[in-house]
Every structure is written in structure tokens, then in C-alpha cells.
Chain A
Amino acid sequence: MSMYNSNRGGIIQIIIGVIFFLIIAQLISLQIFSSKYVLAANNNAIFRKIIYPDRGIIYDRKKRALLENTISYDLVVIPNEAKAVDTATLCDILKIDKAEYSKRMIEVIIKNSRVKSGIFEPFLSAELYAQLTENLYRFPGFSLSERSIRSYPYNTAAHVLGYVAEVDVNFLQKHGEEGYEMGDYAGMTGLEKQYEPILMGQRGVKRYLRDNKGKIQGPFEKGQFDTVAIAGRNLFTSMDVEVQQLAEKLLQHKIGSVVALNPKTGSVIAMASSPGYNPNLLTGNQRRKTIGRLLTDTARPIYNRAIKGQYPPGSTFKPMGALIALDEGLITPSFGYNCFGLYTSCGDPRKCEHHNAGHAANLQLALANSCNSYFLQVFRMAIDNPQYHNAKLGYLKWKQYVNSFGLGRKLGIDLPSENRASIPDTAQYNKDFGGAKYWNSCYMLTLGIGQDRMTATPLQLANAMAFIANKGYYYTPHFIDSVEEEDEVDKKLLANFRVKQQVTKIPTEYFDIIKEGMHGVTVFGTAAFIKVPGHEFCAKTGTAQNPHGKNHSLFVCFAPKDNPTIAVAVVVENAGFGATWAGPIAGLVMEKYLNDTLTKESKTKVDYLSNVDLMPEAIKAWYVRNNKTEMLTPIEYNNDELADIWDMEMLSETAPIKVKVDTIKKLDTAAPPVQPVAPPIKNKKTKEQALNPKMKKKKLNNKKINVSI
């Protein structure tokens, strides 16, 4: 009977086949065409643990570590295991209350879930660490976890070294492909930023299998996909910790900068910027407290004036001006100018510090005595050089020279955000004076003595000295001489630091002449009282007028005279004469570097100079107004002991107040008359602002008249 339905077996087969086909179609879609499931599975089950390598260390020229890694401890907790905790004792140790305890616990749970460990208290102090280790058995679920942080045994070179900090969203966007993750640390400024890839090393990744409750089951695939952490490589500089510390010490209570280069290599020996800060204040748990204060300080302690500060070079530019004129054949070494204390060729008279006859009878004398009239004349000769038909072309040629000395352009030092400062363009003068036809050498006359719109960074000034010391070339200033286990990439990176920047073809005789002149400065000229025991040196003082108040005190020099191994530029803002403040600082820096030690007399000088307070009144007033002590200055430079970062906190909180009061008092009462190291300065009256020029055409910053010693 049912035999008639035998075809129905086939229909049933078709139905089964169709359903199986549907299943297979869905499997194709799931297993072949959707990649999201693999990702989802990996997100579920693979727990990536990043193994952080130690960061590379930066050494000075004597292989002393400018910064190191130290271990800091965090108190971490796995909330699920934190049962029967002696909370009272724990709160007592951490000095928190129960409410704070539960608040933190909830934060940990929100951030890292109940089964993973989260940070309960970061960066434990030594004392806390000891107390917690002793009592840890009372706190089940809590443990101490190591992490590596930076420390700075010499408390120095904060601006140069920079700091590391936790990466933020912006950083992650910029460095998306370099494998950084939230919570990572990276170099944010200074050498730490510049050499981040080398210092960081290579992070290792360990993959663990995690079950549905978040428990680690063991290594994923027996660790075959794990990568090993490779430690960051060390960097070697030519810096000298002691010179660096000395420079920073001498700049205490002042605003300014010291840059010392080795002209033979372009390596930086010391670079200080004041006010500065103790780099240990930006590591570990110090950072949170300090960073805000540093950022809001009106004296801008984070700002590296050595590469960013733009100062009119003033008279320190004069050797360069002379060099141009010599090379152009406009003057000879015997060229003299009959200066009687005023330069009047451009209408408004410009003052010169000297009026005795013959103080500018030849180039050497003019340099030694820093005669303004002489160099104004030389500048005019260069601009109005008949060879170039008009002032504009003459100016361009002059600018080309100045740029070739490394002024007005970025030198390419291995620090982030170097400033190019300014050697003005003709376009700016065209704009000011209504066109190229309407100006001549008289309109920017004071460029000849490093004023007008000319600015330079202390680094550029030091580099210009290296250029003169080397007689016509320099090496790009840099910190890093070599990298540990240098590879091809590193060689490429450092290649530019290892070639001479042969920028001009000025004959060496001309350099000899300039050197003689600058030597004259230190023998019978404006800096004759500054001595470096055992060494002859060449120098040039500068006292630069500026729109911000008292004149800047500048000093550039190199030593020894015949085989220079150090070139220094010092700027002290609003301090007055170049020879009074910047000069002695530079002298001491050179002495320390060349002799490796200071004479007893020099040490007294250091003590005196480091305590002189030359902070502008406005800044002092700001400190008083904001009820802040100057936390930045009183850094104890102690080479023997490693600084204890917990002690630093004490220092910054309490000690400064006393020191501050002392120095202010000393300045108020004793400082002006008693100047044990500074020799009597001729012509005290130069400070007065005489002879205000009136520009006939357009407004020009008429404050910029040069006064020079």
C-alpha cells in the first residue's frame, strides 16, 4: 500500500540536503568570511603581558651615569583575594581612612576587574615599603610589585636629560604604529625624547591563556609567540657632571644659561638653564606634586633657555662683524677708527663707552675695548659695500656670512625644539621702511653691535665661538657621541655630528687676527680681570639692551687660546655688565673643565656668585604674591652620595625658605658695595639711557641702542 509513496524517500533526502546546505552556508560565512571571530576569541582568551626592558643609561665623559634606573614599588591588590584584610593596620600605614580604602578598592575593580591585580598605592616611599613588607602577611591579596623608574644621582642636567612620563592619548595617536599602549612610559622632553627608540629598547610580550573567569591558565602555545624584552642601549656623552653642576650652581638665583662645547668635536660639555629644577622631582610619586608647580612658575623653570632663549648677542657679535669685514677686504687689521665716544655718521649719535683717543686705533684694540663706533662703522662698510651696488644686496651678503657662523638658523642639536633665533630678513626691513629703496645701512645700524632685531640662543653663541676657535668650521653641537652596540641606523642618526660643517672659506689668518683681538680682551680689555689659572684664553664680553628691563650680561669665550678645547657662552638675564656676572661664571666653568679642579680663590668666588640673587624684581614679586618659595634653587650637589628621592622632597619643602631669605638679605645689605671678586668697573654711568634716537621714517624699536663695555 505504501509502496506508492516510495518517491517520498527522495523528497525527504532533498529536505535533509537543503537543511545541511543551509548549515554549511552559515559555517562558510562564520568560519571563512568573518575575521571578527578570531579577534573576539583572542580578546577573550589571550592575556598579553608586556615585559618592560630597562631603559638605557646616559653617561658623562668619565662614564658617570647622569641618570639611572632604580626600582620603585607599588602596592597592588587582587580584590577577589583581599579577604580578611587587617584594614585598620593597612589604613594606618598608608595614612588613609576606611572610606578611602573602599574607594580605592572600587577604583581598582573598575579599572582591572576583581580577579586581576591593580595598583592600590603607587611609588611607595622607602619607609612605607619597609613597613608594608613587614606587615604584608596581614593583608592577603596585597603584594608589592616592582617597577623601574629613573633616578638622577647627580641631581643635574634636568633640561638636557628631559623626563619620562606616562603616555597620553595624543602621544598614542602620534606613535600609533610603534606599539605603545595606555599606561606605558615614554621620553617626553630632552634626550629622553630624542633618543626614545634607542633608550626604550624592545618590549617583550608574553601571552597567557585566560579562562572565562579571568584566571591565567598558563602560557599560550607554550610561549612560542612570546618575544623577549631587549634592554635599552646606553648613550655616551662628553658632558662633565662636575662642570654641569658647577654651571647650574653658578646660575642659582639668576635667570640665564651656560653652554660649554668642545670645539674639536662639537660635543656639549655642559648646558645649564636657570631657573632649573631637580630632575628627581619629576620621577615616581614626586612628579604629580611637582609638575603643576613647574608649569605654572612665572620664571619658567622647564624652559631650556640654552636652546630656546633668544637674546640680543650685543657686543659678543663684534668678532663676527670684524671677520666679515676682513674677509670682504673692507678693512685690514690695522684699520682704525677715530672714536671720541660717539658715532655720529648716521645723524643720531650712538654712544661708545670709551672716549680716550686711540682706543680703536686698530682691530685688536677695538675688539679689546669693545668700541661701538668702530663696529658700527665696519657694519656700515659691509652693507654699503660698493661691490654689491645697493644696501639690500650688501645686506644679503652680510646675512649669508652671519648665517654661515651658525646664527639665525637651527644648528641641529640632538634636543627637541631648538629655536633658530633671528637674523632679520631684508623682507622685514622692506616692510618696516616701506620698500627696499628706502633703507640703507643707517637704518639697522645697531645690527653691527648685535642689537636691533638680531637674537641668538646661548647655544648658537657657544657654537660661534667654536667656529672661531676652529678657524672656520664647527661640528654640529650634540650630546650623544656614541651609542652602545652602535648599528647602521644609529650611525646614520649620528652621522651629521661626525662631519665638519665647513661653512666658509675665510682664510685662517683672519681668524688669527680675531683671536688676537679676543685674547686682548682678556689681557688688557674688558675682561682683563678674569683669569683661568694656567691658561690663556680668548673672550668677548657683551651687555645687551633689551626691552625687558636691565641689560643682559653676556660672555663668550674659548680656551686654551692656541689649542681650544672648550668654548663657552654665558647669558645672565637682566644682570648688567657682561664682565661682571657672565664673565666670571664662564671663567670658572673653563677653569673647572681645563684644570679639573678649582683653586681656593675660585671656590670662594663660586660661593659668592652662587649666592648672588639677580632675579628680576617682577619675578620675586610674583613669588611673594603666589606665596611660593623658590623651590628650584637649593639643590645639594653631592657627588659622593646618591641622592635619595625622598630626601629631595624634604629639601624642596623646607630648606628653600631659609636660603631664600638669607640671599635676599645679603643682596639688600651687602651685595652692591662689596664685590670681592669683581674688579672695579669703569664708567658706572653707562647705564643711563642717554641719546634716545628718533627714527625719521617708520617706528622702530627705539630702545635698542647699544651700550657696551
Chain B
Amino acid sequence: MDKFHSLKGIAAPLPIVNIDTDMIIPKQFLKTIKRTGLGVSLFYEMRYDNDGNLIKDFVLNTSPYDQSKILVTGDNFGCGSSREHAPWSLKDFGIRSVISTSFADIFYNNCFQNGILPIVVSPENLDQLMTAAKNQIEFTIDLPEQVIKAGNHLIKFEIEEFRKERLLQGLDDIGITLGYKDKINTYEEDKKNKKPWLFKDN
């Protein structure tokens, strides 16, 4: 997995609440068997008209936001389906961090699997950052220090230690778990004896 240390750039403001994963990447793009190539379809219905032309006033279609690596957006971002295509499309577009007041659980988790840092801030701080993003003030996100800098704003954020480490080091989660294979096998043997119906493997 790609590492994440720090990030600098103009953040794109998208002040809409409850952006669901259908809005992030609509169903017609879930037919792929690859993880890559989805960036062009990110926010498809907000970004393109019925004829497939770019909608000029959508934020990610305008300079400098079309190069943004950071998205500042409304409450409960990423609600709905479990599709990992949502973080895949964000990442493929170039977004490596999303800032909101809250995220849906599955989306939040999926971000970390893909080297994307979702950051939760207070509603007051979100308002400040949204304004800064609209004014094209440069953001710096520093993961080791757990801080966002934007103009005069210096905002600390929380992140679970294991998630931080995984992002910083770009760790392979499956590789880590396979280090506990003996424990898993022991658990299974014990369970086979105690709850045999669970192992009626058809």
C-alpha cells in the first residue's frame, strides 16, 4: 500500500452533506475487474452532463481544484454502499485526503486500505477550512504531527495509532495477520470441537 506522510496543496471545497458512494462513483463504473482507471468517473453525475461533457462550474472541473489532492466536504461523507470503488476513484483522481465532520464507517475504513487519509474535524473547523478552500489558500496536512495548516488556522486532528502507523509505513495488513496464522489455526481447532455444526463444511 502507498505510504502517506504529509500533503501540501489547494483543497477543493464540496459543501454538500450526506454524499453517498453512489454519488462518488455511480454503479455503471462498478463493472470493472481492476482497481485503477476510475478517477475520470469520480463524481460522474455532478461532473458530466447527459452528453458526457464536463459541467464547467463543478468544483473539480475548475482550475486549480482539478489538481486538488485534498477534498473538504459536508457531514457523513461516504454513506451508503461498501464499494471500495469510492476510495479507488478518489485516489485515481489524485485525492489523498478528505476532510469532513464525519464519515460512514465502511468508507472510512476503506480509505485506510488505500493510502487515503480521512480527517474528522469539528463543525466550526470545517467552516473555517471550507472558507480557506474557497479562497484557494494552501493547505498542509502533516500526519506525524496530526495537524492541518491552512492560512492562520492550525487544526489538530485525532487518528487511531495503528491506522497512523499503517499509513506512515504503507503496511500490508494481510501480511501482518498471516503472522498470526498459528493462533487462527488453534482457534479453528478449538471451535471444531466445541461447535462442530459450524464446520459442517458442505
A and B: bona fide binding partners: no
